Amino acid sequence: MPRSLHVRLDTGSEAALNLVRAEGLNDSEAVRTALREAAARRRTRSALREEASRLAADPDDRAEMDLIREQMAELAPPDLE
């Protein structure tokens, strides 16, 4: 069921709403669009955090990263100091 929501916008929020509305959306469309986009970004960040945690806990992945670091260090130019 559709739900109505009343909010008070501060200056920053009003500017953000105007930015989204500049695409030709009315207030309701702009708010719905912004909420969907914000939710998608949060899901992406959450998935990336979970993936990073999983890889950090994977001993095989950590060993591979250590090997890559060693190989890269061998390719690096010597310190000039």
Domain map (residue ranges) of the chain: 11-75
Q: What percent of the chain has pLDDT over 90?
A: 85
Among residues 16, 46, 10, the alpha carbon closest in space to that of 30 is found at: 16
Is the pLDDT assigned to residue 43 strictly greater than 80?
yes
**pTM of the predicted protein model:** 0.66
44: pLDDT confidence band, cut at 50, 70 and 90? Answer: very high
Instruction: Please state, rounded to an integer, the average pLDDT across all residues of the chain.
Output: 93
81: pLDDT confidence band, cut at 50, 70 and 90? Answer: low
